[in-house]
């Protein structure tokens, strides 16, 4: 069996892989998180190959390239803007042609809104960020840190139109298809082509394209290398390439298979990608601290008696991780950021004291330390009034101005024992005006009632994260991509 550490973007190939004749096990990780695992050597021995939408960020990390062996591009998809057809026509882009300059100007003037993934969690958001930065900077070569600084004000205007965020390209597409709320999304061409009613805008001054390289790890043992060779060769056969094109709307990665008409006839200009990690990280930092709307993150935290011991310890640690204790790049990018408001709502048999922390634009260290102290002081005792906690969170969520990305995290390790019921919560939720209803992201832990927690996530358009067998800190880190 070939053990592959993969980005969630390739999950749609799993059914097809069954026909390859090679047994493959895909384990999913975020782009940045996965890149760090490979670069640090953490993937060696546990995986034989990696398969992300791009190796570019990974290759910028010191020492990472030496851990990689053969790279086989398997398919191709640029990151584009998909807009409701009527909106695209209104903006004069019915033919799908616009420059980044035109797109940014329309965004600044409030003429459309869009959703995009968090560039620190997902390659599509990162590619779009590089694309729009390169496009707006007027740079004719690779972006430099200086150019990023210069283009920041223009980027701010563009991102003022971003009203939806996500930790993954797949969830972004689902959330948009289900809830709308924005005029379009930035995503892989392949995802956008699989959706209804969109006009694909292909920026004529350039895009950033994913080529999904199936990459052998240099550490893989000989028998796995052979499996890799067979899988890679099979993926590039004309038959497989045609199937990938038909099933997943990705462009073929071999010259022998001609792309279908859905990809348009205009050649896509590829923007140069930064060749220094400092530039890439600087862009992500600028996005988090300056460009994007600040987050209002509410944490509804179970501190009931059943949390006593290891569990409350894990919760404390998970929150401390988000205050900057995790010094890795993915840890740094997922910590609480400048301009963000963090609200803690502990509950047991009833709702405890709500505390809010707002990180200033500069020098957030003091407030991060306050949050750390707060987290370390959490104590567990009493019953489990889940919905009282949630019912307290929603009014709190309305306290920040609507310019924030507001979301709620609900972490509980058991069933509701006290106070309000799910129905009570649902009726309160429906009283909130649409457009101001925060999504609730649920973390399953201990003996969580998975079914009812899923109802909470479904009702609010959130998602469920399962930390029952894994680490609570990892689940919290992952959720940060959605905040």
In the bound state with other proteins, the residue whose beta carbon lies nearer, of 115 and 274, is 274
Cα-based torsion angle of the residue sequence 106, 172, 328, 149 in order, rounded to the nearest 10 degrees: 0
Residue 153 lies near other proteins (rule: CB under 8 A): no
Stretch that binds other proteins, among 43-51, 324-332, 426-434, 448-456 (CB under 8 A): 324-332
Q: Of 15, 196, 222, 353, which one interacts with other proteins (CB under 8 A)?
A: 222
Residue 282 lies near other proteins (rule: CB under 8 A): yes
* Smallest separation (angstroms) from other proteins to the CB of 231: 14
Q: Of 133, 143, 300, 390, which one interacts with other proteins (CB under 8 A)?
A: 143
Residue 261 lies near other proteins (rule: CB under 8 A): no
Report whether 51 contacts 7 (CB < 8 A).
yes
User: How far lies 2's CA from each of 32, 73, 145, 223, 240, in Å?
Assistant: 22, 17, 39, 9, 19
In the bound state with other proteins, the residue whose beta carbon lies nearer, of 282 and 446, is 282
* Interaction residues for other proteins, span 411-470 (CB under 8 A): none
DSSP string, 95-133: TSEE-HHHHHHHHHTTS--EEEE-TTT-HHHHHHHHHHH
Residue 21 lies near other proteins (rule: CB under 8 A): no
Stretch that binds other proteins, among 40-48, 80-88, 332-340, 372-380 (CB under 8 A): 332-340
In the bound state with other proteins, the residue whose beta carbon lies nearer, of 85 and 338, is 338
Q: For residues 346 and 354, what is the distance between their CA atoms, to the nearest angstrom?
A: 7
In the bound state with other proteins, the residue whose beta carbon lies nearer, of 47 and 112, is 47
- At 293, is the secondary structure helix, strand, or coil? coil
Q: Of 109, 226, 401, 447, which one interacts with other proteins (CB under 8 A)?
A: 226
In the bound state with other proteins, the residue whose beta carbon lies nearer, of 54 and 166, is 54
* Interaction residues for other proteins, span 172-211 (CB under 8 A): 205-206, 209, 211
Residue 239 lies near other proteins (rule: CB under 8 A): no
Q: Of 18, 45, 153, 278, which one interacts with other proteins (CB under 8 A)?
A: 278
In the bound state with other proteins, the residue whose beta carbon lies nearer, of 275 and 454, is 275
Scan for tokens 């409350």, then name that residue.
312
Q: For residues 40 and 109, what is the distance between their CA atoms, to the nearest angstrom?
A: 44
DSSP code at position 290: I
In the bound state with other proteins, the residue whose beta carbon lies nearer, of 210 and 386, is 210
Quote the Cα angle for 363-369-373, to 5°: 165
Q: Give me the sign of the Cα torsion angle 158, 163, 169, 173.
A: negative
Q: How many CB atoms lie within 10 A of CB 427?
A: 12
* Smallest separation (angstroms) from other proteins to the CB of 331: 9
Q: For residues 50 and 464, what is the distance between their CA atoms, to the nearest angstrom?
A: 26
Report whether 156 contacts 290 (CB < 8 A).
yes
For 314-458, list the strands marked E by DSSP. 341-347, 355-358, 405-412, 439-444
For 332-402, list the strands marked E by DSSP. 341-347, 355-358
In the bound state with other proteins, the residue whose beta carbon lies nearer, of 333 and 394, is 333
Quote the Cα angle for 5-174-344, to 5°: 80
Residue 328 lies near other proteins (rule: CB under 8 A): yes
Residue 114 lies near other proteins (rule: CB under 8 A): no
Residue 62 lies near other proteins (rule: CB under 8 A): yes
Binding site for other proteins (CB under 8 A): 56, 59-62, 65-66, 68-71, 73, 76, 138, 140-145, 205-206, 209, 211, 216, 218, 222, 225-226, 229, 233, 251-256, 267-270, 272-279, 281-282, 284-286, 288-289, 324, 327-329, 332-333, 338, 361-364
């Amino acid at each position: 069996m070939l053990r592959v550490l993969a980005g969630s973007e390739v999950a749609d190939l799993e059914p097809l892989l069954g026909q390859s004749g090679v047994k493959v096990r895909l384990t999913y990780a975020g782009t940045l998180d996965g890149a760090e695992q490979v670069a640090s050597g953490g993937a060696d021995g546990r995986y034989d190959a990696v398969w992300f939408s791009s190796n570019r960020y990974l290759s910028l990390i010191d020492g990472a390239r030496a851990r990689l062996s053969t790279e086989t591009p398997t398919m191709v998809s640029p990151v584009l803007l998909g807009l409701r057809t009527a909106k695209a026509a209104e903006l004069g882009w019915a033919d799908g042609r616009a420059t980044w300059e035109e797109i940014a100007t329309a965004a600044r003037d409030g003429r459309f809104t869009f959703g995009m993934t968090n560039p620190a969690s997902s390659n599509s958001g990162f590619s779009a960020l590089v694309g729009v930065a390169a496009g707006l900077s007027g740079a004719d070569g690779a972006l430099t840190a200086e150019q990023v600084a210069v283009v920041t004000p223009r980027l701010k205007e563009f991102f003022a139109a971003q009203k939806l965020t996500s930790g993954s390209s797949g969830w972004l597409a689902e959330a948009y298809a289900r809830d709308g709320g924005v005029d379009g999304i930035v995503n892989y061409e392949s995802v956008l082509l699989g959706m209804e009613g969109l006009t694909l805008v292909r920026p004529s001054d350039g895009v950033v394209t994913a080529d999904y390289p199936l990459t052998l790890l240099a550490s893989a043992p000989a028998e796995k290398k052979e499996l890799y060779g067979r899988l890679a060769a099979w993926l590039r056969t004309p038959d497989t390439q045609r199937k990938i094109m038909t099933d997943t709307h990705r462009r073929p990665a071999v010259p022998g298979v001609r792309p279908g008409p859905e990809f348009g006839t205009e050649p896509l200009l590829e923007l140069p990608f930064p060749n220094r990690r400092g530039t890439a990280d600087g862009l992500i930092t600028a996005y988090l601290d300056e460009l994007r709307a600040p987050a209002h993150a509410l944490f509804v935290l179970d501190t009931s008696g059943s949390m006593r011991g290891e569990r409350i310890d894990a919760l404390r640690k998970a929150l401390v991780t988000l205050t900057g204790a995790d010094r890795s790049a993915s840890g740094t990018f997922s910590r609480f950021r400048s301009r963000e408001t963090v609200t803690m709502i502990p509950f047991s048999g009833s709702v405890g004291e709500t505390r809010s922390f707002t990180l200033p634009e500069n020098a957030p260290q003091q407030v991060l330390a306050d949050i750390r102290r707060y987290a370390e002081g959490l104590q567990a005792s009493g019953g489990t009034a889940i919905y009282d906690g949630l019912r307290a969170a929603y009014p709190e969520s309305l306290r920040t101005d609507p310019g924030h990305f507001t979301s709620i995290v609900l972490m509980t390790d058991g069933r509701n024992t006290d106070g309000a019921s799910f129905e009570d919560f649902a009726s309160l939720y429906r009283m909130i005006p649409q457009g101001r209803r925060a999504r609730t992201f649920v973390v399953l832990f201990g003996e969580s009632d998975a079914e009812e927690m899923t109802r909470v996530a479904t009702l609010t358009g959130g998602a469920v994260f399962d930390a029952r067998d894994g680490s609570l800190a990892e689940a919290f880190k992952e959720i940060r991509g959605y905040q």
